[in-house]
Structure 1
C-alpha cells in the first residue's frame, strides 16, 4: 500500500473535510482517505497507482485546491 500527501487550501470545517473525502473516495485505487481542515492535509492510501491529476481534480470538484507535497 502506498500513501500520498496533498496540501488542500480553502477548507475550514468538518463539512469541507467530508466534501473532499467523498470526492476522493470515488477514485479507483483509493483504499483510505484522511483529511484535516485544521492542517489542510489530505493523505490517501492506495492499493494501486492513482494519478495525482485525478486527485487534484476530485478536490477541485469538491470546491477546493490541492497540491501534492
Structure 2
C-alpha cells in the first residue's frame, strides 16, 4: 500500500490512502523565499552526504510548513 500512494489519512480508526492528493508546487508557496532556500540547501547537503542540520518547522496554521516538506 505504501508503494502505491503518496498520502494517507487516519479516518474511522483506519489508515486510508488518498488517491489524488493536492500537492502544491514549491513555487506556489509565497512570501517564505528565505525559508524555502534554507530548507532546500540543508536538504541537498544531507542528500549529498555532507553535514546538515535537523529542521524544525514552526508557525501558525496555514503558513506552509507541511507543504515545504
Indicate the structure with greater strand content: 1
TM-score by length of 1: 0.28
TM-score by length of 2: 0.28
